[in-house]
Amino acid sequence: MKQLCKKSTLLAAALLSSTSVAAAAELNIYTTREPGLIQPLLDSFTKTTGTKVNTVFLKDGLAERVATEGTSSPADVLMMVDAGNLVDLVDKGVTQPIDSKVLTEAVPAELRDANGNWFGLSMRARVVYAPKDSDLATLNYEDLADPKWKGKVCIRPGQHPYNTALFADYIAHYGADETEKWLTGLKDNLARKPAGGDRDGAKDILGGICDLAIANSYYVGLMRSGKGGEEQTAWGNAIKVILPTFKDGGTQVNVSGAAVAKHAPNKAEAVKLLEYLVSDEAQKIYAEANYEYPVKAGIAADPIIASFGELKIDNKSLAEIVSHRKQASELVDKVGFDN
Amino acid sequence: MHRMAVSIGYRKRGQRSGALWLACAIAMALLVLLPITALFVQAMQGSAGLWLHLLENVLPIALRDTVILLIGVGILAAVLGTSLAWLVTAYDFPGRGMLEWALLLPLAVPTYIIAYAYLDILHPIGSVQGAIRWILGYTSPREFRLPDIRSMAGCIILLGFVLYPYVYIPTRAMFLTQSGNLLDAARTLGISRRGLFWHLALPLARPAVAVGVSLALMETLNDVGAAEFLGVRTLTVSIYTTWITRNDLPGAAQIALALLLVVVTLVALERWARRRQRYSTGAQRHQRFEPHRPSPIKGWLLFAAGALPILIGFIAPALYLSSEAWKRVQFAGLSERFFAEAFNTIVLALLATICTLAAGLAVAYANRLRPGPISTWSYRVSTLGYAAPGSVVALGVLIALATFDQAIDRAATTWLGFATGLLFMGSGLALVYAYIVRFLAISAGGIDSGLARIPASLDQASRLLGQTATGTFVRVHLSLSRAALTAAGLLVFVDCVKELPATLLLRPLNLETFATHLYGEAARGTYEEASIAALAIVAIGILPVIFLSRVGRTG
């Protein structure tokens, strides 16, 4: 009862008073990363610095919300997945450049904005799942459109940023016309409508619906580790992971990252958080709790992820891939990929 | 002389209070118009560059798929709703009393939850197909599996089985109020039971079926979750995706307005199609139609037929969610988050329900006291938000309130020397506002139909007996429309609990509800604790079903 009273007071306070919290050592995060994924990092940050972290998980419209809130926005740090989404934040003018030696030393130049508007914090590869007993060992992205896979490929909606980034990378390698042909071929190979998430790919391989599923690397760690329960362990164990490459390049890699909001009321704390996120400790959490590839040199990936083999990152830069993203999204519509 | 003075005084006072109500109604209409105006202003600031691509590549197919989906869901909901209503009205079989209310249960399951549940239930590695394989002697899903649920057909079937109650409710009410005498007369004239349905009962119930179907279709158009899970690209989904992938706010506002225009056109068409139809239920009781009692075997078959939609639309998903929730609780226990979310969900929905009821009362009561073009239009405008998809309302409210918040903040900083921060966006008030805009139609509509049943002669009697305008309002109107108020309140409450897009976009820092939690987990493909949240949403959704069934039985 006492707890309930306390809670009601808290909520009443939250509802009625304005929440321009001026008190020291607080930090407000707008994130499109699901709370479960970043909570361990934030808890650890609070433990080391004593700074209280407030978050709101937004799916679509994070940039719109910060932009319309303007100078009054309480947002300090904006956390997002996908380089394209991070660049959008810069284009909307809701970020500010950060000059931090800690950040520029830890994050390789190709994984951050040249002006310091955003920094990549972790990497993920767009890989292919295949049935465990399959004798397939290597694969090129180009092969995914090969008619021999007709009715065998599973993928989430083509308009999802993970996929538009892959398609944009294809444009960077071969140009729009070739990519359109490839996308048409890939669409013809689909086993089912492009829907759901990446984990569904593994589940559907177990369910016999498909033989290849295009998905992100870290889901394998989340499934096999048993963190999602027994069922997911079964999905994760039903598949083997292939790191596909472009014929003239490597595996397509994307980032999750963060930016400091233009009107951040707690800028100092915001920079501190970003610097914390590239510390050895935090990078280890990214690797071990989220199964992502750390951006910082010298930090090892989780054994589950390392078991896929050595990651050869594609030679096209994130900036170049991002520049083709709109075109990729339009091609998805044009070939009716999601219909 | 004295009498005249009294009568003039009476009218003046009455009109004054009427004017106050009317002003409130206009204010409510403006409140609903504000976010739409904000969208409009924002839309004007962009170019129309987006549309060429959309027209060429996206809209034709999205339109085709939307039409197929609407026709499919419309037919399925109409057939199920009408035949089930006839089943429990015209036949007397064992378990009929239970079916009468149990048929409403699928209402408690939001479309995104039914899709989420069936994706798992019907998956090749799920329990249903596992059982089929076991019976047929197959060992692996690679040898045998059913067609994938992620398809247009799957989407139509799932939506049809949770949306048919929208048709069932008004159609059954229509069958019940249809003159038993008329039906009995037809029977004596030798029309078969089947002929009775096709030639008399159904044509008479057509307006009710139309109302129900149009509500079901509105829900279908507003749905984003189920269509997304099942891979169906409706207009709403495609347009929404375009906003997200193109990332420009004016473009998004243009798209949102276009979507609103489509829905408003549909609503107007539906109203136009029914322009000559009038309900003539009246207050007098007709003699009830005597249901037919079939042979025991046939009776049980009828029961099975009536129970099937409940099994598909409620029992199977509810059992699935319960078992998943149970597994989760055993695996990881119930986290503290759950209680915080329960608290947030209920307090927000409660606050929004109270405000929405008050707003609905203003709009509906003004319509009664001061009928005329102004009150009629206030009513229409204030119900616009229900036709608008949640994401449209959310975007409009965001633009309007964030601008407003900033203006206040700046003014306070300049004139008073301190920052107020974001008054609305920073608290839950923006969210409450969005809920009001979105669900005002439900409360206004419910209260209006409740008030309509109170004859005007009661107002006059009350005033003649010395009650003031306020006294008449409280003692006569409020107390006589209590049932309508409760029903409307429950529906609004449940809709607030289920609401997703606006909640996701507008909630303040550190505030999580059942719906946003469920979405967060579903978005990353982990369903872990989401099953508990989903089960809680369904459980809350049962409340109005219980209430509606009680009203149905006594009335």
Homologous superfamily of domain range A25-123+254-299: Periplasmic binding protein-like II (3.40.190.10)
Euclidean distance between CA atoms B508 and B430, whole angstroms: 9
Euclidean distance between CA atoms B199 and B218, whole angstroms: 29
- Fold classification of B1-46+336-555 is MetI-like fold (1.10.3720)
Facing residue for B230 by CB, picked from A88, A195, A232: A195
**Nearest chain A CA: its distance from B41 CA (Å):** 13
Q: A155 pLDDT band (50/70/90 cuts)?
A: very high
DSSP for residue B478: I
Q: Do A63 and B528 touch (CB under 8 A)?
A: no
- Partners of A229 on chain B (C-beta within 8 Å) are 327-328, 331, 528
**Contact yes or no for B130/B122 (Cβ under 8 A):** no
Q: Could you report the per-residue pLDDT of A102-154, keeping only the tens digit for each? A: 999 999 999 999 999 999 999 999 999 999 999 999 999 999 999 999 999 99
The per-residue pLDDT for B15 is 55
In Å, what is the CA distance from B548 to each residue of B415, B541, B555? 53, 12, 10
Facing residue for B525 by CB, picked from A68, A72, A200: A200
Q: Do B526 and A232 touch (CB under 8 A)?
A: yes
- Whose CA is closest to B91, among B309, B315, B311, B301? B301
Chain B window 413-472: which residues touch A at a Cβ cutoff of 8 Å?
419-423, 425-429
Q: Is the pLDDT of residue A176 over 80?
A: yes
Q: Is the pLDDT of residue B355 over 80?
A: yes
The per-residue pLDDT for B462 is 87
Euclidean distance between CA atoms B14 and A139, whole angstroms: 81
**Nearest chain B CA: its distance from A140 CA (Å):** 25
Q: B178 pLDDT band (50/70/90 cuts)?
A: low
Cα B88 from chain centre: 24
Same fold for the pair A25-123+254-299 and A124-252+308-334: yes
Euclidean distance between CA atoms B251 and B247, whole angstroms: 8
Homologous superfamily of domain range B48-247: MetI-like (1.10.3720.10)
Q: How many CB pairs under 8 A join A and B?
A: 205
Q: Could you report the per-residue pLDDT of B220-243, keeping only the tens digit for each? A: 888 877 888 888 888 777 777 777
| Domains in chain B: boundaries | 1-46+336-555, 48-247
Beta bridge mates, A245:
A140
Euclidean distance between CA atoms A27 and A49, whole angstroms: 11
Give percent of chain B with pLDDT exceeding 70.
90
Q: Do A207 and B429 touch (CB under 8 A)?
A: no
**Nearest chain B CA: its distance from A101 CA (Å):** 30
- For chain A, the residue count is 339
**Sign of the C-alpha dihedral, residues A103, A105, A108, A110?**
positive
Which ipTM value was assigned to this complex? 0.78
In Å, what is the CA distance from B473 to each residue of B8, B177, B459, B485? 20, 28, 9, 14
Facing residue for A19 by CB, picked from B124, B426, B519: B426
Residue with the larger pLDDT of the pair B420 and B552: B420
Euclidean distance between CA atoms B339 and B354, whole angstroms: 22
- Fold classification of A124-252+308-334 is D-Maltodextrin-Binding Protein; domain 2 (3.40.190)
Q: Is the pLDDT of residue B269 over 80?
A: no
Q: Do B61 and A336 touch (CB under 8 A)?
A: yes
Contact B132/A at CB under 8 A: no
- Partners of A19 on chain B (C-beta within 8 Å) are 421-422, 426-427, 508-509
Q: Could you report the per-residue pLDDT of A196-243, keeping only the tens digit for each? A: 888 899 999 999 999 999 999 999 998 998 877 788 899 999 999 999
Q: Do A64 and B249 touch (CB under 8 A)?
A: yes
- Partners of A14 on chain B (C-beta within 8 Å) are 427-428, 508, 510-511
Q: Do A54 and B240 touch (CB under 8 A)?
A: no
Contact B123/A at CB under 8 A: yes
Q: Is the pLDDT of residue B528 over 70?
A: no
The per-residue pLDDT for B148 is 87
Q: What interhelical angle do B482-498 and B429-452 show, nearest 10? A: 150
| Average pLDDT of the residues in A64-76 | 91
User: Which of A60, A154, A266, A334 to probe by mutation at the B interface, max B CB count within 10 Å?
Assistant: A60
**Contact yes or no for A325/A168 (Cβ under 8 A):** yes
Euclidean distance between CA atoms B70 and A268, whole angstroms: 53
Euclidean distance between CA atoms B368 and B273, whole angstroms: 25
| Domains in chain A: boundaries | 25-123+254-299, 124-252+308-334
Q: Could you report the per-residue pLDDT of A283-324, keeping only the tens digit for each? A: 999 999 899 999 999 999 999 999 999 999 999 999 999 999
Residue B224: CB atoms within 10 Å: 20
Q: Do A197 and B244 touch (CB under 8 A)?
A: no
User: Which of B241, B323, B404, B519 to probe by mutation at the A interface, max A CB count within 10 Å?
Assistant: B241
Q: B180 pLDDT band (50/70/90 cuts)?
A: low
Quote the mean pLDDT of chain A. 90
3-class secondary-structure state, position B18: helix
User: Which of A33, A43, A56 to probe by mutation at the B interface, max B CB count within 10 Å?
Assistant: A56
Contact B61/A at CB under 8 A: yes
Q: Could you report the per-residue pLDDT of B296-324, keeping only the tens digit for each? A: 899 999 999 999 999 999 999 999 999 98
The per-residue pLDDT for B188 is 81
- Partners of A336 on chain B (C-beta within 8 Å) are 57, 61
**Nearest chain B CA: its distance from A4 CA (Å):** 9
In Å, what is the CA distance from A324 to each residue of A122, A245, A329, B375? 22, 19, 9, 53
The per-residue pLDDT for B143 is 82
- For chain B, the residue count is 555
Q: A12 pLDDT band (50/70/90 cuts)?
A: very low
What element of type H or E holds A259?
strand A253-260
Most confident of B94-103, B407-416, B523-532: B94-103
**Nearest chain B CA: its distance from A83 CA (Å):** 13
The two three-digit tokens of residue B275, written as one number: 């322009």
The two three-digit tokens of residue A225, written as one number: 């580790």
The per-residue pLDDT for B274 is 66
